[in-house]
Homo-oligomer: A and B are copies of this chain.
Amino acid sequence: MTDPLVVFTPSGKRGRFAVGTPVLTAARQLGVDLDSVCGGRGICSRCQITPGSGEFAKHGVSVTETALSPWNQVEERYRAKRGLIDGRRLGCQALIQSDVVIDVPPESQVHKQIVRKAASDRPIKMDPATRIYLVDVEQPDMHDPTGDFERLSAALTAQWGVFGTLKCDPLLLPKLQTALRKGAWQVAAAVFDDGTDAPLLIGLWPELPTSNLHGMAIDLGSTTIAAHLCDLATGTVVASGGVMNPQIRFGEDLMSRVSYGMMNPGGAEEMTKAVRDRLNALMSDLMAEAQIDPSLIVEITVVCNPVMHHLLLGIDPVELGQAPFALAQSGALRMAARDLNLDALSSTARAYVLPCIAGHVGADAAAVALAEAPDQSEDLVLVVDVGTNAELLLGNRSRVLACSSPTGPAFEGAQISAGQRAAPGAIERVRIDAETGTPRFQVIGSDLWSDDPGFTDSLPTANITGICGSGIIEAVAELRMAGLLDASGLIGPPQAGGGDRIIAEGRTFSYVLHDARETGGPLIAVTQNDIRAIQLAKSALYAGARLLMDEFGTDTVDRVVLAGAFGAHISPLHALVLGMIPDCALENVHGAGNAAGTGARMALCSRAARRQVELLSRQIDKIETAIAPRFQEHFVAASALPHASDPFPLLRAHTPLPDARFGAGVTPGRRRGQRRVSPKTEQT
């Protein structure tokens, strides 16, 4: 009689096994991706499978109800204690009795695929650097006096195939003997092995911890710090949070922080301490929220721009403030998290800082490239990560280019008269009726429009507090679409439309969005200076994109991805009307959410992603905007709305832009530190 045939789905792997073989054993012998961290002891439940029943014509198998052995005590106990989904069995306990088709559900796969919330929705495979193993260690023997660690190491090799000379983190060593004895020589060991160094023992517990191992993916921005607490077995984000970067008090933008370091002895150290402290506090909050013990947080990955990269690492960023913008280290960094004073985590946690592409194009851009994969795109894609500094990537399978552009903080509501950060109470959406010049808007915290019944009662704050980045972009674009603003960026007089919404302010005009002064609230208006600030920011962005297009030898792009937390909230139509981005079919402009954060999560969950981003960061060609001869020319031409020379035919096909001209009698506002926009080019 031949042995029973076993077919695994979805892999299709098949083989014959003796009656009584555990399903887990069969899976391992066939190389089926079936998880287990307890090594078949019926403890971890990672090896859950679903046996089929009936006819499987495709596989030529007929499965009876008794194809697997009946439930044994271990399985019964597990089901009683922790529960099992109907139809599921523990692969290590169920024994093969006759021909059977066995499905391995995604959550039982080690290298399960997780779908990322990114524009491309490509899934990533779980392949974390740290894994946990339940292992039986030989007891010490006076006649063969090896250390406890040496016997643990031998057991990990024999029972789990942990190869290479395992090392023990010196800070874990003091906990080793207690854990082994408390666990009666069966312990759960966390081994970090990122493929670049010898494997490292970084955790040990007397039994399998009740939670999985976790890691933190950090997106360290100039203005905000975002952290994602991720399950390293499933890839699930169990908690996310963001805080302001405390370095703002040393300077709003990066260059003022560089200056602070130069002007103040010990200033760089001060900024380093501030950001590390805040990171620790943020991570502690997330761990508390998710109720995950810090000892289970064994890894952290960090993406950030070059200045934040240096300040986190304790490096004075002075070199990044001047040509040739030399990074201290451009490659990825691997270290103990404690060497960054990140003591909110396990004391043995490992840190991985993604590589930088260049002195102005940081690990955040590399992370965006990892997440959005322009290098794998068939069509030509422009990826724009909009923040205080904008990072741009342009490319396809043949080549990827990158640059950064100093947009300044106007897109985030700074330098805007009524501007504020995106927070409850801020205007975030604006529509202006072209006939009447009357606005309506939405406020963060409410789903209603300002002309909906009940709007005032739905507000999250007593008063509307200001206008955030996406709000000001929409307001400016709507003013342009309504003919109240001309292509040069001048707000017209009341008689040109808008009526009493238009108020004079010195020799310029402002457009009133909301006036709550009677009830003690603010006047929220778009001023001529606001328009200028937006023009400067969007010109820098567009000019960067144009430089990349020049280098690539193209005048058009196939699609545009707006990355960054802010990019997710920009309306593609309004971005096109403003001329923030090159002309593109509206349906080909997409928000990608926080792609840099996604890249950090990918690097956290996958060693392959780390290898990929290291490769990418070396392959991407960097364009230095600061020394590109045509940058200034592109910048000046991009001041107009949408552009002085680029015709934007795809945009104009669906959105006519009135041809108003309000003359150049008004001197545009100019501020210290901002580039001067030449008045000559302000008229189309």
Contacts and interface: CB of A to CB of B under 8 A. Distances in A.
A327 B356 CA distance: 43
A149 B624 contact: no
Interface in A116-170: 139-143, 145-150, 165, 167-168, 170
Interface stretch (A17-25, A311-319, A446-454): A311-319
B327 A145 contact: yes
Interface stretch (A172-180, A230-238, A246-254, A391-399): A172-180
Interface stretch (A332-340, A426-434, A525-533): A332-340
A243 interface: no
Interface string A313-356: 11110110001111111110111000110000000000000001
B149 A319 contact: no
A331 B418 CA distance: 66
A145 B622 contact: yes
Contacts of A313: 170, 173-174
Interface size for chain A: under 10, 10 to 19, 20 to 34, or 35 or more residues?
35 or more
Copy tally for this chain in the complex stands at 2
A274 B252 CA distance: 46
Given A142-B323, A177-B319, A198-B197, A328 B170 contact: no
B150 A330 contact: yes
A358 B323 CA distance: 59
Nearest to A318: B177
B314 A147 contact: no
A340 B145 contact: no
Given A340-B170, A624-B143, A177 B333 contact: no
Q: Name which of A150, A174, A329, A340 has the most chain B CB atoms within 10 A of its CB.
A: A329
A653 interface: no
A261 B428 CA distance: 63
B314 A140 contact: no
A317 to B, nearest CB: 10
A244 interface: no
Interface in A30-88: none
A483 interface: no
A174 B331 CA distance: 15
B329 A147 contact: yes
Interface string A590-627: 00000000000000000000000000000000101011
Contact of A149 (B139, B143, B329): B329
Contacts of A140: 324-326, 359
Given A196-B165, A326-B140, A315 B177 contact: yes
A627 B314 CA distance: 54
B177 A326 contact: yes
A254 B289 CA distance: 46
Given A356-B147, A358-B145, A168 B329 contact: yes
Contacts of A176: 315, 328-329
Contact of A330 (B147, B178, B622, B624): B147
Nearest to A359: B145
Contacts of A315: 173-174, 176-177
A171 interface: yes
Contacts of A333: 170
Contacts of A359: 140, 142, 145
A357 interface: yes
Contact of A624 (B142, B148, B177, B178): B142
A315 B180 CA distance: 14
A316 B313 CA distance: 33
Contacts of A150: 329-331
Interface string A268-291: 000000000000000000000000
A198 B167 CA distance: 14
Given A142-B626, A145-B359, 7 more contacts: A140-B324, A142-B323, A142-B358, A142-B624, A149-B331, A177-B326, A196-B198
26 contacts: A140-B359, A141-B324, A142-B324, A142-B325, A142-B358, A142-B359, A142-B624, A145-B330, A145-B359, A145-B361, A145-B622, A147-B326, A147-B356, A148-B329, A165-B196, A170-B313, A170-B335, A170-B340, A171-B314, A173-B315, A174-B314, A174-B316, A177-B315, A177-B316, A177-B318, A177-B319
Give 4 closest A-B pairs by Cβ, nearest first: A145-B358, A147-B330, A140-B326, A149-B329
